[in-house]
Amino acid sequence: MKFSAVAAVAALAPSFVSAHYFFAHLYVNDVKSAEYEYVRRSTQGFQPHFGPSIMTSNDMRCNTGSQANAARTKIAKVKAGDTIGFGTNLGAQIQHPGPIQVYMSKAPGAVTSYDGSGDWFKIYQLSPKNPVTADVSSWKVYNKNRIDFAIPKDIPAGQYLVRIEHIGLHRPSGTEMYFNYAHVEVSNTGGSLPRQTAKIPGMYKPTDAGIKFSIYGGAKTYPFPGPALISSGKNAKREEEVEERDVDEAKPRFSRRYAPNME
């Protein structure tokens, strides 16, 4: 009986890793960083944020407890136009339906002391397939563990926070939010900051169509929440435009059929 209990717990472990995750790695021009080398470590761990309260909290910027780790987080050197990306912990695959969005905010000084209270602009969004369905595989993020995108070519040099976010829409009772952010220093000879910006908190409301969205309601398209994608940003609307890919292909893949009540 003891053996059976241990075996049962072990069998559940892959599903847990696949369902809950965080973005611990940064990729710069296809080179993977160490865990939390350029990404600020938070105290949230595997657990997402549930419900509307996070939308009015300063923790919505950079996640719970991350400011205490800001000074010890390195800064990745990138050029405007470079491809960078976020990878999940342990190669965990994203298996919840919902969009990916990526934001940047320019630090007024050193990014290692910046709390994210400035303006944020959206540089990337990953849409669902067309049409949207209740099947988790209709979302392009399904089974991915790495999201790549480009630093806009027309932003000025400086130090920035780069924030990745996945909004889980599988709970009928509300959203799950997974997000982390990294330190980067952008080099460029020109450029200007976008005008389409928002503050965090305040970027989302529980009543926003993209937040209260039900995958079971029959809608065919998804209305992205937050500020508009900047003109030089990337909207992965067509399947051939999607640049994200799975990494660590040698790792075993833990897939499971989607169920509305999964955690």
- Stated pTM of the model: 0.82
- CATH class of the structural domain 49-241: mainly beta
- pLDDT reported for residue 181: 94
- The pair of structure tokens assigned to 11 is 């069998």
- pLDDT reported for residue 173: 64
Question: Average pLDDT in the 36-44 region?
Answer: 90
- pLDDT reported for residue 46: 64
- pLDDT reported for residue 236: 54
Tokens 């309601």 sit at which residue? 217
- The pair of structure tokens assigned to 183 is 């330190």
- pLDDT reported for residue 19: 58
| Among candidate residues 122, 102, 127, 94, the one with its CA nearest the CA of residue 182 | 102
> Which amino acid belongs to residue 62?
C
pLDDT in tens, 49-80: 777 888 998 888 888 767 899 999 999 999 99
Reply yes or no on whether the pLDDT at 184 is more than 90.
Answer: yes
Reply yes or no on whether the pLDDT at 16 is more than 50.
Answer: no
**DSSP code, position 139:** B
Our measurement of the distance from residue 191's CA atom to the centroid of its chain's CA atoms, rounded to an integer in Å, reads 25
Instruction: Give me the sign of the Cα torsion angle 44, 50, 51, 55.
Output: positive
Instruction: Give me the sign of the Cα torsion angle 121, 141, 181, 186.
Output: negative
| Among candidate residues 103, 88, 112, 82, the one with its CA nearest the CA of residue 25 | 88
Q: How confident is the model at residue 249 (pLDDT cuts 50, 70, 90)?
A: very low
Domain range summary for the chain, segments of one domain joined by +: 49-241
Rounded-to-integer distance, Cα 199 and Cα 91, Å: 31
For every residue of 225-242, DSSP letters joined together read -SSPEEEEEEEE-SGGG-
| Among candidate residues 135, 156, 148, the one with its CA nearest the CA of residue 241 | 148
Q: How confident is the model at residue 27 (pLDDT cuts 50, 70, 90)?
A: very high
